[in-house]
Amino acid sequence: MCAVALVDCRNFYVSCERVFSPKLMNRPAVVLSNNDGCIIARSEEAKTAGVRMGAPYHEEKEHLARMSGAVLSSNYALYGDMSARVMSLLGEFSPKVEIYSIDEAFLDFGNLVGVDLMDHARRMRERALRWTGIPVGVGIGPTKVIAKTANKLAKRNGGVFALLEESAISSALAGMAVEDTWGIGGRWGKRLRRMGIETALALREADPTRIRQSFGVVVQRILYELRGVSCLLIENAPPAKKEICVSRSFRKRVGAMEELSQATASYATRAAEKLRRNGSRAYGLSVFIHTNHFREGEPQYSGSGSVRFAHPTSDTGLLIRAALAALRRIHRPGYLYHKAGVLLFDIAPARRVQDEMFDRPDFSRSDALMSTLDALNTRMGRATVRYGAEGFEAAWRMKGEMRSPRYTTSWEELAQVRAV
């Protein structure tokens, strides 16, 4: 029997914060985006109170204050580490786990012979809460799309729900608007409704050939998934990234070349770290800068520049030098810049690069240096050892005035317990 489970961490960013700050329990709480701009996560209490997802914080600030709501800056170091803990635990309940996002994973339950899947899912849910403090919901179905549907129903059915019987599947799909089907969304949903297809059940019963002619193979696969035919396989390893981008909006607009250079060097460093974590090297790099186009009446400019390397690299020093060279080419004085970024492209696995190149450069010294740099920063905290080009006093860095401590990744910010 084919069976797929979708595990979803409920209100993940807020749940991570609550693990280390119990005072946030049972009260409205929100997490803000970079630079404390918009609301990107809400507790159930905040949702019930009408706090809008994606709303600019300044529009909801008074609303949150009236209900004594908690407001937190995003703490991605904490969220990433807590996600890794949850995903590691899930691997004990299935031989195949596909990490779909920071707070979702698909598990293959099809080979669990003689196992009651609902009991298995409940044990997994209970252990996740006990070992990590993160509440999860589990939806089970014969395909990914139906498992996603079951996960939605799990929210009001004790946290675990299965759609494995035909009658239950049909009933659930009949009650689901077509645009709420995983992978459809508003744009395709409107077109489907114009064709008379208003529910997920109606999409399942539509003519596959007509759907493919109108929408392409992606929607046709969703149709087959709704019929219980698995088209979206579980992938143990995520596909290799083709690009890595690090970009940020500045805390305040930047005009000085020195500050732009520091920001660009910092972004190149973060991109290089991601590249090495993936075991990859990049053949090219792009840098981009732009002003704030929403400030009408001010001079506007956006520019980008690229560099290609003779040999692929993951060396932070080389990437910083290339990024700064590109920045010097595109920078125009007299503007106040709102955002900058570094993009690494044409990425390939490091091992394959070494095996395929005829003119093989010697990566050993660079790799040893980068390995030492990464080890020191892992042990002592990010950017403890860094290139001087990143600077030390960075007024341009993002706001994060309400960020909680990085409880699990920084020795200096460990939670403290005091005897009374």
For residue range 70-111, list pLDDT tens digits in order.
999 999 889 999 999 999 999 999 989 999 999 999 999 988
Measure the CA–CA gap between 137 and 157, rounded to whole angstroms: 10
Residues 14, 135: one domain? yes
Q: 377 versus 10: which is more confidently predicted?
A: 10
Residues 5, 105: one domain? yes
Query: Which of 155, 172, 203 is the C-terminal boundary of a domain?
Result: 155
Angle (CA) 325-328-334 rounded to 5° is 165
Residue 405 lies in a domain: no
Q: How many CB atoms within 10 Å of residue 237?
A: 7
Residue 72 lies in a domain: yes
Number of domains making up the chain: 2
Tens digit of pLDDT for each residue in 353-411? 555 545 566 788 889 999 999 999 888 877 788 898 988 766 666 666 788 887 887 76
Percent pLDDT > 70 in the chain is 93
Residue 141 lies in a domain: yes
What's the confidence (pLDDT) of residue 400?
66
Measure the CA–CA gap between 250 and 264, rounded to whole angstroms: 11
Q: Are strands 160-162 and 136-141 parallel, antiparallel or unpaired?
A: parallel
Residue 193 lies in a domain: no
User: Within 13 Å and on the Cβ side, how many CA atoms surround 3?
Assistant: 22
Measure the CA–CA gap between 87 and 97, rounded to whole angstroms: 8
Residues 124, 266: one domain? no
Measure the CA–CA gap between 71 and 30, rounded to whole angstroms: 5
17 Cβ contact partners less than 8 Å away, ≥ 6 residues apart: 24, 29, 31, 70, 72, 75, 78, 404
Residue 261 lies in a domain: yes
Q: pLDDT band for position 274 (50/70/90)?
A: very high
Residue 212 lies in a domain: no
Residue 186 scores a pLDDT above 80: yes
Burial of 40 (0-12, 13-18, 19+ CB in 10 A): middle
Q: pLDDT band for position 171 (50/70/90)?
A: very high
Tens digit of pLDDT for each residue in 128-155? 999 999 999 999 999 999 999 999 999 9
Q: What CATH number is attached to the domain comprising 337?
A: 3.30.1490.100
132 contacts 86 by C-beta, under 8 angstroms: yes
400 contacts 74 by C-beta, under 8 angstroms: yes
Residue 227 scores a pLDDT above 70: yes
Residue 334 scores a pLDDT above 70: yes
Residue 310 scores a pLDDT above 60: yes
In the block, tokens 């080890």 appear at 375
β strands within 157-255, DSSP E? 160-162, 243-254
Chain center to CA of 146: 23
User: Within 13 Å and on the Cβ side, how many CA atoms surround 243?
Assistant: 9
Domain range spanning residue 56?
A: 1-155
Q: 166 versus 364: which is more confidently predicted?
A: 166
Residues 386, 255: one domain? yes
What's the confidence (pLDDT) of residue 412?
73
Average pLDDT of 406-420? 74
Percent pLDDT > 90 in the chain is 71
Q: What CATH number is attached to the domain comprising 108?
A: 3.30.70.270
Residue 293 lies in a domain: yes
What's the confidence (pLDDT) of residue 359?
54
Query: Which of 119, 138, 155 is the C-terminal boundary of a domain?
Result: 155
Average pLDDT of 268-297? 91
Residues 149, 22: one domain? yes
Residue 229 lies in a domain: no
Residues 150, 247: one domain? no
Residues 11, 144: one domain? yes
pLDDT, the chain, mean: 90
Residues 256, 366: one domain? yes
Query: Which of 155, 183, 199 is the C-terminal boundary of a domain?
Result: 155
Residue 236 scores a pLDDT above 60: yes
Report the amino acid identity of residue 48: T
Residues 4, 119: one domain? yes
Residue 165 scores a pLDDT above 60: yes
Give the global pTM.
0.74
Residues 257, 135: one domain? no
